[in-house]
Amino acid sequence: MSAAVTNVPHHGAADPAALPIIPWPSAVEPLDGPGPSLADVRVEAPDAGLAALAVEQLAGAGVRVHDGAPVGVTLRLDPAAGPVGSDSPERYTLRVSADGVVATAPERVGLLHAVRTLRQLVPVGRASAGEAEAPAVVPAVVVHDAPRYSWRGLSVDVVRHFFGPEDLRTVVDLVGALKLRVLHLHLTDDQGWRIQIPSRPALTERSSATQVGGGGGGYLTVEEFRDLQDYAAERFVTIVPEIDQPGHVNAATHAYGELMPDGEPTAVYEGIEVGFSRLWFDNPATEPFLRDVLGDVARMTRGQYVHVGGDEVLTMEPAEYARFVELACRVVREAGKTPVLWQEGARGPVEPGTVLQYWEPKGEPDPFIAAARAGARFVMSPGNRAYLDMKYTPEHALGLEWAGFVELRDSYDWEPEQVIPGLPAESVEGVSGAVWTETLATRDDLFSMLLPRLGAVAEVAWSDARRKDWESFRARVAAQAPTWRAAGWEFHPTPQVDWP
């Protein structure tokens, strides 16, 4: 065995062209000798559910899995697995040798991460024109791995254009493949209401059939939302629903006119402007509405978090806004969940454990530093790095440009602990990409904006800054292109990568 390769992902036998792993692991130890052929394998796992997930991953890479196969892929729970010194519940060790594959981890999620890494090592598209497919030989290597942050996510807007259960399951698959753990769904806005609320049926009856540009729309039923969460949870992805308020509420005020001071419903809105809609705290209809909606959503949510929005409220006095933040967070906590808000929530009362999602890198840092002192946790989604609906370049056909143009390297070369000057590093809970869908109407539109940039965000969230290397990353991105094509995942062929 050669010496461990740590912090230098492009060194020696662990060259990224041979090990196209995204995000890059904590430590890689190349082994002497050849690796196994994974054309045919058998899987041994602690339980049937994990075995099925392993089969799903390997079959997606073209590996045949059956009980009589000559090569074993063994998944085993082991509290000693992972990098030395790591206490992450997601840590794992993957050993690939001529004798077979052994993955160890203290928890099931780590074992699935190990299988995801193994899948990335399997060459896809191994046949040349007119030739039989070559054996799926993978390198002999030991990987010790653990994430930097526990919150590693993607925020998806399903309001401006609606993406239904099938599309969202595919997004879960992508999120999981990159070892992200959170899928945050922006479910309500001015253009539509995308989740059924049992206590307020008019929200979907009157406000779900519209979207940007007109036509289409849709919503998730209670059963569809439950099934999506189940699908995600099986793959160790947590769904975080967002009910945006006290702004971005035209769909709500269209359904329930009593939320307006004059009692009249607002008109349908199918544009992309922001900041014009709002609730009124002293309106007698407001608090019952928030309690009904947030209470129902909390009861429908499997995970720990409910996002209560709070962004771009442009026509409300600070004192009234703070009362909204206090009420929304109180309702969520009373329902047993942890509230998440956009960064503007720092202007309201902040209790320990509240999560603030930072998106617009401008203004003074003092409110955020004060919120951190009060116990807030921060998820970093800076628009000029992690907003994946920004155009790649000025001539790109899709996307917006209010935060600038965000190419692949822009999404890679940033440090979460430096986004807010003076914020204590220990207050950073994690990192999330975000994609807004004003200009994205199809799954191919969506994926072409996510890939390859979501891989860059995933590496920022997972890998220690000392292990990041742009030249290594762009080579590993190129090596993943056949896998994305095989999965049917559209991606943008940025000129920053030398594509195969």
My answer on whether 77 and 169 are in the same domain is no
pLDDT at residue 161 in the model:
98
My answer on whether 302 and 185 are in the same domain is yes
In the numeric block, the tokens 């992902």 are attached to 9
My answer on whether 48 and 190 are in the same domain is no
My answer on whether 270 and 211 are in the same domain is yes
Please report which residue ranges of 235-346 form alpha helices under DSSP H: 250-255, 286-300, 318-334
pLDDT band at residue 216 under the 50/70/90 scheme: confident
My answer on whether 243 and 339 are in the same domain is yes
Helix crossing, 165-177 with 108-121: angle to 10°?
80
User: What is the average per-residue pLDDT within 159-186?
Assistant: 98
My answer on whether 116 and 167 are in the same domain is no
Asked if residue 491 is part of any domain, the answer here is: no
Any idea what the CATH number is for the domain that residue 328 is in?
3.20.20.80
Bridge partners of residue 432, in order along the sequence: 153
In the numeric block, the tokens 């906590």 are attached to 333
CA distance 223 to 227: 6
Non-local (6+) Cβ contacts of 421 within 8 A are 365
User: What is the average per-residue pLDDT within 416-433?
Assistant: 98
Asked if residue 313 is part of any domain, the answer here is: yes
Give the residue from 84, 115, 145 where a domain finishes.
Answer: 145
pLDDT at residue 121 in the model:
95
My answer on whether 112 and 190 are in the same domain is no
Share of the chain above pLDDT 90, in %: 91
- The DSSP symbol for 104 reads E
pLDDT at residue 10 in the model:
36
pLDDT digits (tens, 9 = 90+) for 80-128: 999 999 999 999 999 999 999 999 999 999 999 999 999 999 988 654 4
Asked if residue 389 is part of any domain, the answer here is: no
Please report which residue ranges of 340-389 form alpha helices under DSSP H: 366-373, 383-386
pLDDT at residue 130 in the model:
46
Does 13 score more than 60 pLDDT?
no
Bridge partners of residue 245, in order along the sequence: 309
**173 alpha carbon, distance to own chain's centre:** 10
- Quick one: CA dihedral 402, 404, 409, 412, positive or negative? negative
pLDDT digits (tens, 9 = 90+) for 233-263: 999 999 999 999 999 999 999 999 999 999 9
End-to-end CA distance of the chain: 31
pLDDT band at residue 467 under the 50/70/90 scheme: confident
Domain count, the chain: 2
User: What is the average per-residue pLDDT within 465-478?
Assistant: 94
Per the structure, the complete domain to which residue 83 belongs is given by: 31-124+136-145
Asked if residue 472 is part of any domain, the answer here is: no
Of 312, 326, 351, 417, the catalytic one is 312
Asked if residue 413 is part of any domain, the answer here is: no
Asked if residue 398 is part of any domain, the answer here is: no
My answer on whether 185 and 325 are in the same domain is yes
User: What is the average per-residue pLDDT within 422-436?
Assistant: 98
pLDDT digits (tens, 9 = 90+) for 323-350: 999 999 999 999 999 999 999 999 999 9
Asked if residue 19 is part of any domain, the answer here is: no
pLDDT at residue 11 in the model:
35
My answer on whether 291 and 330 are in the same domain is yes
Told to judge if 312 belongs to the known catalytic residues of this protein, a careful annotator would answer: yes
pLDDT digits (tens, 9 = 90+) for 375-422: 999 999 999 999 999 999 999 999 999 999 999 999 999 999 999 999
Give the residue from 145, 177, 201 where a domain finishes.
Answer: 145
pLDDT at residue 233 in the model:
98
Does 479 score more than 70 pLDDT?
yes
Half-sphere exposure of 240 (CA within 13 A, CB side): 27
My answer on whether 168 and 282 are in the same domain is yes
My answer on whether 83 and 171 are in the same domain is no
pLDDT at residue 12 in the model:
37
Bridge partners of residue 430, in order along the sequence: 151, 379
Average pLDDT of the chain, as a whole number: 94
Asked if residue 261 is part of any domain, the answer here is: yes
Does 480 score more than 90 pLDDT?
yes
My answer on whether 178 and 114 are in the same domain is no
